[in-house]
Structure 1
Amino acid sequence: MNQAELNADAVRRGYQAFNADDLDTLTELFDKNVSWHTPGRGPFAGDRLGREAVFQLFGSYKSETGGTFKVTLKRVLTDAEGQVISVHHATAERKGKHLEVDGCIAFEFQDGKIVRGKEFIFDLYPLDEFWE
């Protein structure tokens, strides 16, 4: 398996671990100095630095939705440099609101670990409204 395939496999494992609340696997996949960007104007928008801050963000998605926040991986794309883009569909329930958004994440890897994640949402308005 080449590095691009290994990185794509890591992203697939990461989605499974996120949905299963498997912090051990996420810790294995994410570099301790990972950076993460979430778009939008809601309370979770912005940049996070460090695995602990990123995992706190992920935990907030879960806690704010009573554990209903789920992300279904639709596609994984790679390039020759080993970068990975995931395409996904997210759903959640919160305060009588229902979330259904499509998005993608651009992942960068170093030494087999995720060092950067940048989220993109195809339509930010429903996401911002959901977190209000």
Structure 2
Amino acid sequence: MEHPNLAIIHKFYEAYGKHDMNEIAKVFTSDAQWFFPGNHPFAGIHKGVEGIVKFFDAMSLLNMEGEPLVMGINDKYLVEAQHTWRTESGITDFDGFWCVVWAFEDGKIKWGRHFSPDERYVDSFFNKITP
């Protein structure tokens, strides 16, 4: 049986795939935030549903691919280690790992946070592809 917090994440991705802001808003707390590390244009704290969706929209334009490696879950958090890469014109220009933590409150996503084992590599990539 699927853990309720994993089901919430699946609802988010399903609603996000349709860009259904009403359904997306139902899975986040009113003060939700998303944290992305580094010193580049994508980095920072993305606040509220609109800010989080704007961040995910910008990331989706990058055509990143990924695979989950391992996941842990309890009633307050979901943690996932991921392998992520991007190949443009036959050249892999990003190949790295992330740890993503999702926090839940009252059956909704309260915040999310990416962690990178190599922030210099991440900064270099995002600064190189952003004008």
Report how far residue 90 of structure 1 moved. Answer: 1.8
1:91 paired residue number: 85
Give the unaligned 5+ runs of structure 1.
none
Is residue 108 of structure 2 the alignment partner of residue 110 of structure 1? no
User: What is the distance in 2 between the residues matched to 1:22 and 1:31?
Assistant: 20
Give the unaligned 5+ runs of structure 2.
none
Report how far residue 101 of structure 1 moved. Answer: 1.3
Report how far residue 89 of structure 1 moved. Answer: 1.7
User: What is the distance in 2 between the residues matched to 1:14 and 1:101?
Assistant: 26
Which of structures 1 and 2 has the bigger CA Rg?
2
TM-score of the superposed pair, with normalisation by structure 2:
0.76
CA change 1:32–1:71 in 2 (3 A) is farther
User: What is the distance in 2 between the residues matched to 1:71 and 1:31?
Assistant: 27
Is residue 67 of structure 2 the alignment partner of residue 72 of structure 1? yes
* Counterpart code for 2:19: L
TM-score of the superposed pair, with normalisation by structure 1:
0.75
Aligned residues: 124
Report how far residue 112 of structure 1 moved. Answer: 1.5
Identity rate of aligned residues, in percent? 21
2:36 paired residue number: 38
- Residues 59-88 of structure 1 deviation map (CA, whole Å, 9 limit, x = unaligned): 11122x2xx123322222123x43111111
Moved over 4 A (4+): 14-18, 93-97
